[in-house]
Amino acid sequence: MGGAGDLSSNEAALRLAQSFPGLFATVGMHPHDAKDVGGEEWAKLRALMQEPRVVAVGETGLDFYYEHSPRQTQMELFSSFIGMARQTALPLVVHNRESDREVAEILRGEGKGSVGGVIHCFTGDYESAREFLDLGFFLSFSGIITFKNAAGLREVVRRLPLDRILIETDAPYLAPVPHRGKRNEPAFVRFVAEAVAAARGIALEEVAEATSRNAERLFRI
Ligand SMILES: [Zn+2]
């Protein structure tokens, strides 16, 4: 999976996905950069979203923690991406930080037209997890669940249905324990899987199988 920052990283991810059989791309724009998306950028993004090997629209969403772009601008771009997801029938990869209520509200507003997707790098509480599950979303957990202070998040992952959980690295940041603080790599997803297995008291293989199956279901790959 190749993710999305600015336009050139969208294009680079797509080129990789189109060159290597096992790779797929998503096309989106981080909410941090919402303020930089004008008409011209949006036209390019729209074209990229319709390319082969693109399996999702995202990242998109809201980040009210850093608020690098004005909230209203973030919400408008998020809505535009949701519209494109509907039009292309692709799932959404949603970024959400300190904006649980607004993200849920916007997604709920989609009602029956909703294409679903995944709330990536989920760090919320059980109630907010339930709400996203009810909206038809998967929840993806990153290296954060391996952190010492993340007992609450491990409790959330313990209580969720296994068929709605994904795991990710969100590299190059958020390296899991025992690599915390270093550069993160996709291979470290193993430590995330181990933390999920430990939290649920099940075998690592079971987590690996279930989350692979879930990813295939979500991205239809
Ligand atoms: Zn994100």
Give the mean pLDDT of 21-27. 94
Q: Report which DSSP code applies to 2.
A: B
Is 52 contained in some domain? no
Is 92 contained in some domain? yes
Judged against a pLDDT cut of 90, whether residue 143 lies above it is answered with yes
pLDDT digits (tens, 9 = 90+) for 178-205: 999 999 999 999 999 999 999 999 999 9
Q: Structure tokens of 65?
A: 């923690």
Give the mean pLDDT of 46-65. 96
Is 104 contained in some domain? yes
Find residue 141's DSSP bridge partners. 167
Is 105 contained in some domain? yes
Model confidence band, residue 80 (pLDDT cutoffs 50, 70, 90): very high
Model confidence band, residue 112 (pLDDT cutoffs 50, 70, 90): low
Judged against a pLDDT cut of 70, whether residue 61 lies above it is answered with yes
Is 126 contained in some domain? yes
CATH number at residue 153: 3.20.20.140
Is 50 contained in some domain? no
* Range of the structural domain that residue 79 is part of: 60-219
Judged against a pLDDT cut of 60, whether residue 4 lies above it is answered with no
- Pairing type for strands 165-167 and 92-97 reads unpaired
CA 119 / ligand 1 centre spacing (Å): 9
Give the mean pLDDT of 36-63. 96
Residues with CB under 5 A from ligand 1 (ion): 59, 95
CA 120 / ligand 1 centre spacing (Å): 6
Residue 1's pLDDT is 47
Residue 110's pLDDT is 80
3-state helix, strand, coil in the chain (%, to 5): 50, 15, 35
Find residue 58's DSSP bridge partners. 93
Provide the number of structural domains found in the chain. Answer: 1
Model confidence band, residue 6 (pLDDT cutoffs 50, 70, 90): confident
Is 203 contained in some domain? yes
- What does pLDDT average to over the chain? 94
pLDDT digits (tens, 9 = 90+) for 127-136: 999 999 999 9
Model confidence band, residue 2 (pLDDT cutoffs 50, 70, 90): very low
CA 142 / ligand 1 centre spacing (Å): 10
CA 51 / ligand 1 centre spacing (Å): 22
Instruction: Count the Cβ atoms, other than its own, within 10 Å of residue 98.
Output: 14
Is 134 contained in some domain? yes
CA 140 / ligand 1 centre spacing (Å): 11
Judged against a pLDDT cut of 70, whether residue 86 lies above it is answered with yes
Residue 118's pLDDT is 98
